[in-house]
Structure 1
Amino acid sequence: MFGGGGLNPRKMQQMMKQMGIDVEELDAEEVIIRTADEELYFDGAEVTKMDAQGQETYQIVGEPSVRKTGADEAEALEDADDGSDDGGIPDADVEIVAQRAGVTESTAREVLEENDGDLAAAVSQLE
């Protein structure tokens, strides 16, 4: 930026301070830059904030991971991550009914499906 390739870092800091440029290293855990088509995700990047006459500039040093964005992909992630089997009943609900009623998980799942996922009705039916 300043063409000071051979200067030592302390000397460079002194020169920048004389010119009214404050430099601060930020302890950033992650940086995400979103565009219309993708996200650039920096994990553990080095981030430097420079303030020159009231104008703040951020410099990010690191290798980003690229993630595509879009409604179709977001829906696919939600569907894959809902924690349920093919029946649409969440595994956590099956475990709750199985524990409360003292039955196997397969029996609990069947009764939950019969009761459209209603936990109270399933437990009542099994007790």
Structure 2
Amino acid sequence: MFGGGGLDPRKMQQMMEQMGIETDDINAEEVVIRTADEDLVFSNPEVQRISAQGQETYQIVGEPNTRAASETADDDESIPQSDIDIVAERAGVSESDAQNALEAEDGDLAAAIARLE
């Protein structure tokens, strides 16, 4: 953006503040970008909110998993199969146990994994 290859990070931060640009790190567990054809699911991404001139922009750094739109739940009560797979794999449990934990934690992947560990 600024072409400051060797610029000191503190100096860069001062320049950004002078221009009215504020940045905040967001401790995100998951980010989902839903399109008509697919969902891009970022697990444990680095997310930064950038506020400048009254507008907020979000920057996401991470490697997404892709799931087809057909895998997305048709209603809000259903847990997506891809979430069940993630929890089962990370916690080393059956899909049934993973689904039960996700339902108990209202679909929160991190809380479901923590519940099972």
Residues 74 and 20 of structure 1: CA distance in aligned 2, closer, same or farther (over 3 Å)? closer
Aligned to 1:9: 9
Count of residues in Structure 1 that have an aligned counterpart in Structure 2: 78
RMSD (Å) for aligned C-alpha atoms: 2.5
Residues 19 and 35 of structure 1: CA distance in aligned 2, closer, same or farther (over 3 Å)? same
- TM-score by length of structure 1 reads 0.55
- TM-score by length of structure 2 reads 0.59
Matches for 1:1-127 after TM superposition, within 5 Å = 1-70=1-70
> Aligned to 2:15, what secondary structure does the other structure show?
helix
Query: Structure 1: which 5+ residue stretches go unaligned?
Result: 82-127
Q: Within 1, Cα distance between the matches of 2:9 and 2:26?
A: 17
Q: Within 1, Cα distance between the matches of 2:39 and 2:59?
A: 17
Q: Within 2, Cα distance between the matches of 1:74 and 1:57?
A: 28
Query: Structure 2: which 5+ residue stretches go unaligned?
Result: 85-117
What's the offset of the Cα at 1:70? Answer: 2.3
